[in-house]
Structure 1
């Protein structure tokens, strides 16, 4: 007789439980983790291309949005009771209390950008599903290896209905700020020529 073992079920965590684990010292102080779809995810190490692109994009958006929006770098956003990711960049509504009482929620988020070197598949699939399900209207993945920008729009329950890939010579405008034209190349690390 053929028997099959029952499928195992992962134990999902809530944001409240995740915070409690942090307060109890469950995570090493230098360990970078985030909560996504009820799973505690260990964040990958940042390579030099990732760090360069993140810094360039942050400086570009800080100067562009000035007093129109707050550009947050690797800070939590509260998607729902089971997801509190820390996107590389979140452009959010300005809060008079500087988000002292809560993390930005989807209704306060204008744009999320993840910088991908080793995390492209995760950012395009898992994170896109979480952001889309939460109603984030404008989600970008900056692919530093292929020097492209993946633009996700039209959020839905299972992710996004639209993904457009733009090359480094193109430019893009955020949905909430259509007057701004951002060059993809300005966000990417500069190409370094090797001389003999």
Structure 2
């Protein structure tokens, strides 16, 4: 028997509409959301290991890259008309007006890092495709549970063509700063034995 019901239509949001919803107070002040491919996604609460790794990683980037970049911490990136994620960390080009007129765009982003504990699959599959489609050349997912760094490079419309997984005892250099050497262990919280 054929269904006579019309197919479901999903309403996608634009960045402009998303901002308007925020201005109207649609979201609770404590609610953290981001816009991904026209979908409004609630950001889950972060555990202590995630929070620690995010802080450590931001500090490492600030220390090593100094005044070559601005290190954004849980701040919006304007990918396109339907995506405005808030990555855990983004190293962006320095803007003389401190991005007072716009959020950083893909051409102004050197590196995006998501720190994952419970969000590993989402960060590796959903967010990776969105960042790749937008042309983000260097995307890292710091897996705090397995103490590994997933490095995504070679973006294409259907996703990244390269994913390399590095253990905590390895080092990494951002694509735009090949002379910089970052110890992955420095981005991870220390192991505390009970």
Class of the TM-score when normalised by the shorter of the 2 chains: over 0.9
Are 2:164 and 1:164 equivalent residues in the alignment?
A: yes
Q: Choose 17-26 or 5-14, whichever is displaced more.
A: 5-14
Secondary structure of the residue aligned to 1:191 is coil
1:4 Cα deviation (Å)?
6.3
Superposition RMSD in Å: 0.9
1:146 Cα deviation (Å)?
0.6
Q: Runs of 5+ in structure 1 lacking a partner?
A: none
Report the counterpart of residue 147 of structure 1 in structure 2.
147
Q: 1:102-143 CA deviation, whole Å, 9 max, x = no partner?
A: 000000000000000010010001100110000000000000
Please give the residue correspondences for 1:124-135 in structure 2 after superposition, counting only pairs within 5 Å: 124-135=124-135
For residues 105 and 141 of structure 1, the distance between their equivalents in structure 2, rounded to whole angstroms, comes to 20
1:9 Cα deviation (Å)?
2.5
Report the counterpart of residue 102 of structure 2 in structure 1.
102
Report the counterpart of residue 31 of structure 1 in structure 2.
31
Q: TM-score, normalised by structure 1?
A: 0.97
For residues 104 and 3 of structure 1, the distance between their equivalents in structure 2, rounded to whole angstroms, comes to 46
Report the counterpart of residue 118 of structure 1 in structure 2.
118
Q: 1:148-195 CA deviation, whole Å, 9 max, x = no partner?
A: 00000000001111111111111100000000111111001100011x
Tell me how many residue pairs correspond in the alignment: 194
Q: Choose 16-25 or 158-167, whichever is displaced more.
A: 158-167
Q: Runs of 5+ in structure 2 lacking a partner?
A: none
Report the counterpart of residue 181 of structure 1 in structure 2.
181
1:8 Cα deviation (Å)?
1.8
